Structure 1
Amino acid sequence: MNTRELLFPPGATRHDWVLDGMLALAMFLVTVLPYASYSAWNTTPRMLLMVTLSLMVLPLVLRRHSPLLMLAGCTFAGIVQVIVVNTFTATLVVLPIVAYSVARWVPGVAARSVVAIGGFASIIGPLRWATATQGFTISARGIVLFVLASFVCLGLIVTPYAIGRRVRESSVAHADRIAAAEERYQLLLAEREQQARLAESRARATIARELHDIVAHSLSVMIVQAEGGRAVAAKRPEAAVNALDTIADTGREALSEMRRIVGVLRSEPERRGADWEPAPSLADIGELVHRASDRATLVVHGQPPRVSPALELTIYRVVQEALTNFLKHAGPTATAVVTLAYHPTEIMVEIVDNGPGPTQVTTTPGHGLRGMAERVTSMDGRLEAHPLALGGFVVRAVLPVHHRATTTIDRGVHR
């Protein structure tokens, strides 16, 4: 804290000026006027006595705005009063107010100055009164009166000072509690905002995966069917018609799924009913493989166990994305085998093709492989996706039947 803040503590208002001015005026009316009007108590001229006593109460105007300047003013007035007046005066009631104000509003070691000044004054004042009444003679009665007066004057300083420090400590502790509560509240808001952003990021990633799976697979199927239909249109018109039917069905299905996703994002009350349909399941994988290409076959080992809808959707999306990559990169003559092996504790999904793969090999995985890895990892599974030594590409996922925590994000996109 700098010198300016020490001399003029912040926080005093115009209302405090009014209250402190009224306090000084009240002390003047109660202590100065009655004492100065009754001249029998002293031999000091009345005008000089009134000025001397007024110097003690006027600094109270600075009680809140500058407690140390108030202390300096009262100290100067006390020195003048000791010199001019030879008896105690009613203005001594100002001293507890000064001690309390300094202890209450001045921080740190500077507040102890009022105790030091008060302790010194509690000796000088009674000594001045004793010598004025008894001269310089020393008696037992005079010593007793001097000691009692000194203790009384010291008590008028120490007691208000202790009360003021206690009030200040309580006020500071209360302000610290409020500041700590505000800090905790700000941290809570920041944590909630961070959680909201993470949830939003996860939702965006989930929706991006869904859109990628739907659009990429559907367009790949439509492109393959269109190219195949164009190739056989002249020789086998009925095959071209079947290809066009497949393209139309695939486009309608993709459009329907995209509408469902957009409907979830919009959250419109009037959008309900047909837009909310069950997510793809294990039973839909056969139709998925058949619709994708006649060069893909499905092999199933074992009986499908009862699993969560999230796990079924994960297996479906893995097969869908692997077939999409097969249609895009394996070439027009390659074939693919989709194998589903059901075991009591796990499900193995494998998609193997014999195509040459893309002409340019990159070490950075695409969005499709990254999306598959995220899906499989979220279900505590393992994913392998790499080229084969003799040509072709394999995608293999092993997922436990009993997932430790059912993921509901994927279900919410299609339900």
Structure 2
Amino acid sequence: MAEERTVPVPSSWMTLSGRYGRAFARACDIAMALGVLMAANQYSEDYDLVLGFLMALCLLARRRFPGTVMAAVLALTVVQFVLDDRPDVPLASSPAAYNVAVLFAMISVVHHSRTIWMPYLAGATVLLATLAGTVGMPPLGIEPFVDLEVLLTFWGLTLTVWLTAFSLHTRRLYAESQADRALHVQREQEQRVRLAAARERADIARELHDVVAHSLAVMILQADGAEAVLRKSPDMAQSALKTIAATGRDAIDDMHRIVRVLREGNPDSADSADGGPPRRLVTLDEIEVVAERARAAGLTVDVSVEAGEGRLSPAEEMTAFRIVQECLTNVLRHAGAGAGVDIRLHEEQDTLLISVVDDGAGTLAGRGVGGSGGNGLVGMRERVELAGGSFEAGPRLGSGWHVRASIPTRTKR
């Protein structure tokens, strides 16, 4: 299993969302707007309260339209200075405390803008606006209103606020990226679990198919044969019944093993846990056993196994055995008694080659009685591909069927 990755979870205050997050954000907007309005209420000129109210109203939309809000607040600030520099009677105070709305608008652009250049543009705009205060704006009738010392103070305050907002903006983006990454990792882990469960189900399905299909095919044919010769040849009927009993016992043992794996989830320990019987290892020697049962069911089986003893791993021997078993099952189901089967297994250049060929000359040839719907071929192909080999199956010229598989071997030293 792949190593699990852990992702740091961002602080809850950075990832506040949902109903509470929206309520908190709205409360912050209202608090800023009230602060600006209360500051404007401290001045007695005719338009101070109106300008402060309009600035506060703009700040309520700062999260959704940060750039537009900042442009509107700057425009209201220009109007404020124009009204203050009237030659007869000033209609507004400038600079005033409610000009803090400009800093609030700049914070909104830095913190909520989704473009890279907008935070820098907002900071530069505020710095240039304060710089204009040292020279004034003659076309608009605005005279210089700050000296160098005040300018440096404004710049220091602006830079401090900008850096704080930018750091919070960076931290928010980092928190969002970490949250997205954590969600991505969680989905990957869930996907791995689903894939592992699907592979396990496929493995169990192959095992059940191999055990049940082969055992039932042999038992049914033996039972039919025993019934046919019960009175004429009791000895043959007795032999068929013994084959049925042996096949049933092996099938029950395999079913018990599969059930233990389903219950305990560990195929290596399930067979010996709780005092259960030891696991029955399947080797190439078992091929002769299933071949003998197939002969007893009426097939003519020729087996040749040329593989060094102890040179194949248990998984490789299991794969080879199941392929041969499934081939014999298919011959019994589709050709029936009387068919001839040639089984060849041999090693060649660190590869186990398997060839199973039948002549299709059984009593059921051409009728396809009891077909498995292709599950057997699918299971064989999956087994071989999992072992890293190749698989080929198809009809022969004339009659019969052939199955060929090659499995890379890891020769034991």
Is this contact kept in 2: 1:82–1:125, CA < 8 A?
Answer: no
Q: Aligned match of 1:374 in 348, 370, 382?
A: 382
Question: Would you say 1:359 and 2:359 are equivalent positions?
Answer: no
Unaligned runs of 5+ in 2: 1-21, 63-68
Cross-structure match for 1:261: 258
Identity of aligned residues (%): 30
Is this contact kept in 2: 1:95–1:157, CA < 8 A?
Answer: no
Which secondary structure does the structure 2 equivalent of 1:293 belong to?
helix
Instruction: Tell me by how many angstroms 1:402 deviates.
Output: 1.5
The farther-off stretch of 265-274 and 246-255 is 265-274
For 2:311 and 2:411, the matched residues in 1 are separated by 12
Which secondary structure does the structure 1 equivalent of 2:406 belong to?
strand
Q: Quickly say closer, same or farther: Cα 1:349–1:116, change in 2 above 3 A.
A: closer
Question: Would you say 1:313 and 2:318 are equivalent positions?
Answer: yes
Which secondary structure does the structure 2 equivalent of 1:234 belong to?
coil
Instruction: Tell me by how many angstroms 1:338 deviates.
Output: 2.9
Structure with higher helix content: 1
Is this contact kept in 2: 1:339–1:349, CA < 8 A?
Answer: yes
Instruction: Tell me by how many angstroms 1:76 deviates.
Output: 4.3
Q: Aligned match of 1:206 in 203, 214, 235?
A: 203
Question: Would you say 1:396 and 2:404 are equivalent positions?
Answer: yes
Cross-structure match for 1:177: 174
For 2:381 and 2:411, the matched residues in 1 are separated by 16
TM-score, structure 1 normalization: 0.69
Question: Would you say 1:105 and 2:108 are equivalent positions?
Answer: yes
For 1:394 and 1:56, the matched residues in 2 are separated by 92
Instruction: Tell me by how many angstroms 1:240 deviates.
Output: 1.3
Aligned length: 359
Is this contact kept in 2: 1:216–1:324, CA < 8 A?
Answer: yes
Is this contact kept in 2: 1:103–1:112, CA < 8 A?
Answer: no
TM-score, structure 2 normalization: 0.70
Mapping 1:39-188, distance limit 5 Å: 64-65=59-60, 68=70, 71=74, 74-83=77-86, 92=95, 94=97, 97-106=100-109, 108=118, 118=130, 121-124=133-136, 149-152=146-149, 154-155=151-152, 157-188=154-185
For 2:347 and 2:58, the matched residues in 1 are separated by 87
Cross-structure match for 2:191: 194
For 2:385 and 2:137, the matched residues in 1 are separated by 87
Is this contact kept in 2: 1:385–1:396, CA < 8 A?
Answer: yes
Is this contact kept in 1: 2:340–2:360, CA < 8 A?
Answer: yes
Question: Would you say 1:243 and 2:248 are equivalent positions?
Answer: no
Instruction: Tell me by how many angstroms 1:23 deviates.
Output: 6.9
For 2:394 and 2:293, the matched residues in 1 are separated by 25
AA at the equivalent of 1:292: A
Give CA-to-partner distance per residue, 1:199-246, whole Å, 9 cap, x none. Answer: 222222211111111111001101110121112111111221221232
Q: Quickly say closer, same or farther: Cα 1:185–1:85, change in 2 above 3 A.
A: farther
Q: Which protein has the larger Cα radius of gyration, Structure 1 or Structure 2?
A: 1
Instruction: Tell me by how many angstroms 1:390 deviates.
Output: 5.2
Is this contact kept in 1: 2:340–2:361, CA < 8 A?
Answer: no
AA at the equivalent of 1:299: S
Mapping 1:28-43, distance limit 5 Å: none
Is this contact kept in 2: 1:380–1:400, CA < 8 A?
Answer: yes
Cross-structure match for 1:285: 287
Is this contact kept in 2: 1:382–1:399, CA < 8 A?
Answer: yes
The farther-off stretch of 352-361 and 315-324 is 352-361
AA at the equivalent of 2:105: V
Is this contact kept in 2: 1:56–1:94, CA < 8 A?
Answer: no
Q: Quickly say closer, same or farther: Cα 1:120–1:210, change in 2 above 3 A.
A: same
Instruction: Tell me by how many angstroms 1:173 deviates.
Output: 2.8
Is this contact kept in 2: 1:260–1:275, CA < 8 A?
Answer: no
For 2:243 and 2:150, the matched residues in 1 are separated by 106
Cross-structure match for 1:228: 225
Instruction: Tell me by how many angstroms 1:159 deviates.
Output: 4.4
